[in-house]
Protein backbone atom coordinates (compact mmCIF):
# COMPACT_ATOMS: atom_id res chain seq x y z
CA UNK A 1 0.00 0.00 0.00
CA UNK A 2 1.42 3.37 -0.98
CA UNK A 3 0.89 6.09 1.60
CA UNK A 4 1.37 9.85 1.26
CA UNK A 5 1.51 12.36 4.12
CA UNK A 6 0.18 15.91 4.40
CA UNK A 7 2.12 17.78 7.09
CA UNK A 8 5.12 15.47 6.71
CA UNK A 9 7.58 17.69 8.62
CA UNK A 10 5.22 18.26 11.52
CA UNK A 11 5.33 16.54 14.90
CA UNK A 12 2.74 13.94 13.88
CA UNK A 13 3.64 13.74 10.18
CA UNK A 14 7.26 12.79 10.90
CA UNK A 15 6.10 10.07 13.32
CA UNK A 16 3.70 8.75 10.65
CA UNK A 17 6.60 8.39 8.20
CA UNK A 18 8.42 6.15 10.72
CA UNK A 19 5.29 4.09 11.48
CA UNK A 20 4.33 3.56 7.83
CA UNK A 21 7.92 2.61 6.92
CA UNK A 22 7.86 -0.11 9.60
CA UNK A 23 4.32 -1.39 8.90
CA UNK A 24 3.90 -4.62 6.94
CA UNK A 25 2.75 -4.06 3.37
CA UNK A 26 3.08 -0.24 3.47
CA UNK A 27 5.54 2.18 1.91
CA UNK A 28 5.56 5.97 1.77
CA UNK A 29 5.44 7.79 -1.53
CA UNK A 30 6.62 10.83 0.43
CA UNK A 31 4.90 13.80 1.90
CA UNK A 32 4.28 17.51 1.53
CA UNK A 33 4.19 20.51 3.79
CA UNK A 34 2.25 23.72 3.33
CA UNK A 35 2.70 25.40 -0.08
CA UNK A 36 4.50 22.35 -1.52
CA UNK A 37 3.34 20.72 -4.76
CA UNK A 38 0.71 18.14 -3.82
CA UNK A 39 1.20 16.27 -7.12
CA UNK A 40 4.20 14.67 -5.40
CA UNK A 41 1.78 12.43 -3.48
CA UNK A 42 -0.81 12.14 -6.27
CA UNK A 43 -0.01 8.44 -6.84
CA UNK A 44 -0.68 7.46 -3.20
CA UNK A 45 -3.47 4.99 -2.46
CA UNK A 46 -4.01 6.52 1.00
CA UNK A 47 -3.04 9.96 2.27
CA UNK A 48 -2.70 10.75 5.98
CA UNK A 49 -3.41 14.34 7.07
CA UNK A 50 -1.97 15.87 10.24
CA UNK A 51 -1.85 19.53 9.26
CA UNK A 52 -3.92 22.47 10.47
CA UNK A 53 -7.64 23.21 10.73
CA UNK A 54 -7.18 25.91 8.04
CA UNK A 55 -5.67 23.45 5.54
CA UNK A 56 -7.49 20.20 5.97
CA UNK A 57 -10.71 20.93 4.02
CA UNK A 58 -8.80 21.86 0.89
CA UNK A 59 -6.66 18.72 1.23
CA UNK A 60 -9.81 16.58 1.47
CA UNK A 61 -11.28 18.08 -1.73
CA UNK A 62 -8.02 17.46 -3.57
CA UNK A 63 -7.74 13.81 -2.46
CA UNK A 64 -11.35 12.93 -3.16
CA UNK A 65 -11.20 14.40 -6.64
CA UNK A 66 -8.23 12.10 -7.35
CA UNK A 67 -9.94 9.08 -5.73
CA UNK A 68 -7.34 8.87 -2.92
CA UNK A 69 -8.46 7.38 0.42
CA UNK A 70 -7.78 9.53 3.49
CA UNK A 71 -6.95 9.12 7.17
CA UNK A 72 -7.39 12.46 8.93
CA UNK A 73 -6.12 13.32 12.40
CA UNK A 74 -6.24 17.09 12.01
CA UNK A 75 -8.68 18.56 14.50
CA UNK A 76 -11.09 21.51 14.47
CA UNK A 77 -13.99 19.78 12.68
CA UNK A 78 -17.28 21.60 13.24
CA UNK A 79 -20.65 20.06 12.30
CA UNK A 80 -20.65 22.37 9.25
CA UNK A 81 -17.28 21.01 8.09
CA UNK A 82 -18.39 17.43 8.65
CA UNK A 83 -21.47 18.11 6.55
CA UNK A 84 -19.23 19.30 3.70
CA UNK A 85 -17.10 16.14 4.03
CA UNK A 86 -20.28 14.02 3.89
CA UNK A 87 -21.27 15.79 0.66
CA UNK A 88 -17.83 15.16 -0.84
CA UNK A 89 -17.98 11.48 0.18
CA UNK A 90 -21.40 11.13 -1.44
CA UNK A 91 -19.96 12.61 -4.65
CA UNK A 92 -17.05 10.10 -4.53
CA UNK A 93 -18.66 6.94 -3.12
CA UNK A 94 -15.70 4.70 -3.95
CA UNK A 95 -13.34 6.57 -1.61
CA UNK A 96 -12.81 5.83 2.11
CA UNK A 97 -12.29 8.72 4.55
CA UNK A 98 -11.68 8.33 8.27
CA UNK A 99 -11.60 11.28 10.66
CA UNK A 100 -10.58 10.64 14.26
CA UNK A 101 -9.95 13.20 16.97
CA UNK A 102 -7.60 10.77 18.72
CA UNK A 103 -5.86 7.63 17.44
CA UNK A 104 -4.44 6.37 20.74
CA UNK A 105 -6.17 3.31 22.12
CA UNK A 106 -6.25 4.75 25.67
CA UNK A 107 -7.95 7.94 24.53
CA UNK A 108 -10.53 5.98 22.53
CA UNK A 109 -11.28 3.92 25.66
CA UNK A 110 -11.37 7.07 27.82
CA UNK A 111 -14.10 8.53 25.57
CA UNK A 112 -16.00 5.24 25.66
CA UNK A 113 -15.74 4.98 29.48
CA UNK A 114 -16.83 8.62 29.83
CA UNK A 115 -20.00 8.00 27.79
CA UNK A 116 -20.69 4.90 29.91
CA UNK A 117 -20.31 6.82 33.19
CA UNK A 118 -22.16 9.97 32.12
CA UNK A 119 -25.76 8.92 32.91
CA UNK A 120 -24.84 8.14 36.53
CA UNK A 121 -23.42 11.54 37.56
CA UNK A 122 -25.08 14.89 38.05
CA UNK A 123 -21.84 16.79 37.34
CA UNK A 124 -19.32 16.35 34.52
CA UNK A 125 -16.36 18.50 33.47
CA UNK A 126 -13.30 18.00 31.26
CA UNK A 127 -9.73 19.23 31.66
CA UNK A 128 -7.56 18.87 28.54
CA UNK A 129 -3.83 19.50 28.85
CA UNK A 130 -1.47 19.92 25.87
CA UNK A 131 1.87 21.28 24.68
CA UNK A 132 1.80 25.07 24.08
CA UNK A 133 2.32 24.77 20.29
CA UNK A 134 -1.15 23.36 19.78
CA UNK A 135 -3.17 25.58 17.39
CA UNK A 136 -6.69 24.72 18.52
CA UNK A 137 -8.58 24.85 21.80
CA UNK A 138 -10.56 23.10 23.07
CA UNK A 139 -8.84 19.98 21.73
CA UNK A 140 -10.64 17.72 19.28
CA UNK A 141 -10.62 14.91 21.83
CA UNK A 142 -12.21 17.03 24.54
CA UNK A 143 -14.90 18.28 22.14
CA UNK A 144 -15.73 14.71 21.06
CA UNK A 145 -15.80 13.59 24.72
CA UNK A 146 -18.07 16.49 25.69
CA UNK A 147 -20.50 15.74 22.86
CA UNK A 148 -20.65 12.09 23.87
CA UNK A 149 -21.22 12.92 27.53
CA UNK A 150 -23.96 15.37 26.55
CA UNK A 151 -25.65 12.79 24.31
CA UNK A 152 -25.53 10.13 27.05
CA UNK A 153 -26.94 12.61 29.60
CA UNK A 154 -29.75 13.63 27.25
CA UNK A 155 -30.65 10.01 26.58
CA UNK A 156 -30.76 9.36 30.32
CA UNK A 157 -33.01 12.39 30.86
CA UNK A 158 -30.42 14.39 32.86
CA UNK A 159 -30.72 18.16 32.75
CA UNK A 160 -28.01 20.80 32.80
CA UNK A 161 -24.95 20.29 35.00
CA UNK A 162 -25.35 22.16 38.30
CA UNK A 163 -23.47 25.47 38.44
CA UNK A 164 -24.35 28.51 40.54
CA UNK A 165 -21.76 30.78 38.87
CA UNK A 166 -23.24 34.25 38.38
CA UNK A 167 -20.42 36.22 36.71
CA UNK A 168 -18.70 34.08 34.09
CA UNK A 169 -15.39 35.81 33.26
CA UNK A 170 -14.02 32.83 31.36
CA UNK A 171 -12.80 31.01 34.44
CA UNK A 172 -15.33 28.25 33.83
CA UNK A 173 -13.75 27.33 30.50
CA UNK A 174 -15.29 26.69 27.08
CA UNK A 175 -18.72 25.07 26.95
CA UNK A 176 -19.30 22.25 24.43
CA UNK A 177 -22.88 20.94 24.32
CA UNK A 178 -23.36 22.16 27.90
CA UNK A 179 -20.18 20.52 29.24
CA UNK A 180 -17.40 22.77 30.57
CA UNK A 181 -13.97 22.13 29.01
CA UNK A 182 -10.85 23.63 30.61
CA UNK A 183 -7.68 23.95 28.53
CA UNK A 184 -4.11 23.91 29.88
CA UNK A 185 -1.13 24.67 27.60
CA UNK A 186 2.14 23.78 29.28
CA UNK A 187 5.68 23.20 28.06
CA UNK A 188 6.67 19.58 28.75
CA UNK A 189 3.22 18.15 28.06
CA UNK A 190 2.17 16.15 24.99
CA UNK A 191 -1.56 15.27 25.14
CA UNK A 192 -3.54 14.56 28.32
CA UNK A 193 -7.14 14.65 29.45
CA UNK A 194 -9.14 14.21 32.64
CA UNK A 195 -12.87 13.61 32.63
CA UNK A 196 -14.36 14.38 36.03
CA UNK A 197 -17.75 13.16 37.22
CA UNK A 198 -19.46 14.05 40.49
CA UNK A 199 -22.48 12.88 42.46
CA UNK A 200 -23.51 13.21 46.13
CA UNK A 201 -20.53 12.06 48.22
CA UNK A 202 -18.33 10.75 45.39
CA UNK A 203 -16.35 11.64 42.29
CA UNK A 204 -14.96 9.58 39.42
CA UNK A 205 -11.92 10.73 37.41
CA UNK A 206 -10.94 9.10 34.12
CA UNK A 207 -7.50 10.19 32.97
CA UNK A 208 -5.50 9.47 29.85
CA UNK A 209 -1.92 10.52 29.07
CA UNK A 210 -0.03 10.40 25.78
CA UNK A 211 3.59 10.95 26.81
CA UNK A 212 4.92 10.31 23.30
CA UNK A 213 3.41 10.62 19.81
CA UNK A 214 4.22 6.96 19.15
CA UNK A 215 1.03 6.33 21.16
CA UNK A 216 -1.04 7.43 18.14
CA UNK A 217 0.71 5.22 15.57
CA UNK A 218 -0.91 1.77 15.98
CA UNK A 219 -4.26 3.53 15.51
CA UNK A 220 -3.06 5.43 12.44
CA UNK A 221 -1.74 2.24 10.81
CA UNK A 222 -5.00 0.37 11.59
CA UNK A 223 -6.98 3.29 10.14
CA UNK A 224 -4.93 3.18 6.89
CA UNK A 225 -5.81 -0.52 6.51
CA UNK A 226 -9.46 0.30 7.29
CA UNK A 227 -10.07 3.08 4.73
CA UNK A 228 -8.99 1.03 1.72
CA UNK A 229 -11.65 -1.56 2.59
CA UNK A 230 -14.39 0.79 3.81
CA UNK A 231 -15.73 3.38 1.33
CA UNK A 232 -17.55 6.40 2.70
CA UNK A 233 -16.99 8.39 5.88
CA UNK A 234 -15.93 6.71 9.12
CA UNK A 235 -15.96 8.91 12.21
CA UNK A 236 -13.66 8.08 15.13
CA UNK A 237 -11.89 4.78 15.83
CA UNK A 238 -14.53 2.51 17.39
CA UNK A 239 -15.37 0.72 14.15
CA UNK A 240 -11.67 0.20 13.34
CA UNK A 241 -10.96 -1.25 16.78
CA UNK A 242 -14.16 -3.34 16.85
CA UNK A 243 -15.47 -1.52 19.94
N1 LIG B 1 -6.11 12.69 15.91
C2 LIG B 1 -5.03 12.53 16.66
O3 LIG B 1 -4.80 11.46 17.27
C4 LIG B 1 -4.05 13.66 16.76
C5 LIG B 1 -4.32 14.82 16.12
N6 LIG B 1 -3.42 15.84 16.13
C7 LIG B 1 -3.77 16.99 15.31
O8 LIG B 1 -2.96 16.97 14.15
C9 LIG B 1 -2.71 18.30 13.69
C10 LIG B 1 -1.22 18.51 13.53
O11 LIG B 1 -0.59 18.39 14.78
P12 LIG B 1 1.01 18.48 14.92
O13 LIG B 1 1.67 17.47 14.07
O14 LIG B 1 1.26 18.49 16.38
O15 LIG B 1 1.25 19.95 14.33
P16 LIG B 1 2.57 20.55 13.67
O17 LIG B 1 2.39 22.03 13.65
O18 LIG B 1 3.78 19.97 14.31
O19 LIG B 1 2.52 20.01 12.16
C20 LIG B 1 1.61 20.44 11.19
C21 LIG B 1 2.32 20.34 9.87
O22 LIG B 1 1.40 20.52 8.80
C23 LIG B 1 1.96 21.42 7.88
N24 LIG B 1 0.87 21.95 7.07
C25 LIG B 1 -0.03 22.92 7.36
N26 LIG B 1 -0.89 23.05 6.33
C27 LIG B 1 -0.51 22.14 5.39
C28 LIG B 1 -1.02 21.79 4.08
N29 LIG B 1 -2.04 22.43 3.51
N30 LIG B 1 -0.42 20.80 3.39
C31 LIG B 1 0.63 20.15 3.90
N32 LIG B 1 1.17 20.45 5.12
C33 LIG B 1 0.59 21.43 5.84
C34 LIG B 1 2.73 22.39 8.72
O35 LIG B 1 3.67 23.10 7.96
P36 LIG B 1 4.19 24.53 8.52
O37 LIG B 1 4.83 24.25 9.84
O38 LIG B 1 5.14 24.96 7.46
O39 LIG B 1 2.97 25.40 8.65
C40 LIG B 1 3.39 21.42 9.71
O41 LIG B 1 4.55 20.82 9.15
C42 LIG B 1 -3.40 19.21 14.71
O43 LIG B 1 -4.68 19.56 14.23
C44 LIG B 1 -3.53 18.33 15.95
O45 LIG B 1 -4.60 18.70 16.77
C46 LIG B 1 -2.25 15.74 16.80
C47 LIG B 1 -1.95 14.61 17.49
C48 LIG B 1 -2.81 13.45 17.52
O1 LIG C 1 -2.50 18.70 18.96
C2 LIG C 1 -2.25 17.67 19.60
O3 LIG C 1 -1.15 17.43 20.09
C4 LIG C 1 -3.33 16.68 19.76
N5 LIG C 1 -4.46 16.88 19.13
C6 LIG C 1 -5.61 16.04 19.17
C7 LIG C 1 -6.75 16.78 19.83
O8 LIG C 1 -6.94 17.99 19.56
O9 LIG C 1 -7.51 16.18 20.58
C10 LIG C 1 -5.32 14.69 19.77
C11 LIG C 1 -4.37 14.72 20.93
O12 LIG C 1 -5.01 15.32 22.01
C13 LIG C 1 -3.08 15.47 20.56
* pLDDT tens digits for range 130-159: 999 999 999 999 999 999 999 999 999 999
Assign 216 a pLDDT band (cuts: 50, 70, 90). very high
Instruction: Among 33, 59, 139, 235, say which to mutate for ligand 1: greatest number of ligand atoms within 8 Å of CB.
Output: 33
Question: How many A from CA of 8 to the centre of ligand 1?
Answer: 8
Is 215 annotated as a binding-site member?
no
Ligand 2 binding pocket (C-beta < 6 A) is 75, 101-102, 130, 134, 139-141, 191
Q: Kind of pairing, strands 96-99 and 69-72?
A: parallel
Atom of ligand 2 nearest to the CA of 142: 9
Is the pLDDT assigned to residue 38 strictly greater than 90?
A: yes
Is pLDDT at 98 greater than 90 in this prediction? yes
Residue 242 in marked binding region: no
Q: pTM for the whole thing?
A: 0.97
Q: 78 among the known binding-site residues?
A: no
| Per-residue pLDDT at 156 | 98
CA of 213 to the centre of ligand 2 (A): 10
Over residues 174-186, mean pLDDT: 98
Mean pLDDT of the 197-217 span: 98
Domains of the chain: 2-99+214-241 (3.40.50.720), 105-211 (3.30.360.10)
- Please work out, in degrees rounded to the nearest 5, the angle formed at the alpha carbon of residue 99 by the alpha carbons of 160 and 228: 145
Q: Does the active-site annotation cover 130? A: yes
Q: Which of 10, 19, 9 is nearest to 223 (CA)?
A: 19
CA 171 distance to own-chain centroid: 25
Query: Is the ipTM of this structure higher than 0.85?
Result: yes
Q: Are 61 and 87 in contact (CB under 8 A)?
A: no
> What contacts 57, CB < 8 A, 6 or more positions away?
81, 84, 85
189 CA distance to ligand 1 middle (Å): 17
182 is catalytic: no
Known binding residue 75? Answer is yes
**Is the pLDDT confidence value at 84 over 90?**
yes
Output the average pLDDT for the chain. 97
116: CA distance to ligand 1 center in Å?
31
Amino acid sequence: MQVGIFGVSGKMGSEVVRAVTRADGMTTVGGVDINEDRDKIGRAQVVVDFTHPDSVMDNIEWCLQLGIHMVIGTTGFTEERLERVRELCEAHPEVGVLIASNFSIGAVLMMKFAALAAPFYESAEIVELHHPNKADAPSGTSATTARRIAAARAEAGLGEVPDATVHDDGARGAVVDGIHVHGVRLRGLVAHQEVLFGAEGETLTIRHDSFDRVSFMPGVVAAIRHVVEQPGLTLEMEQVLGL
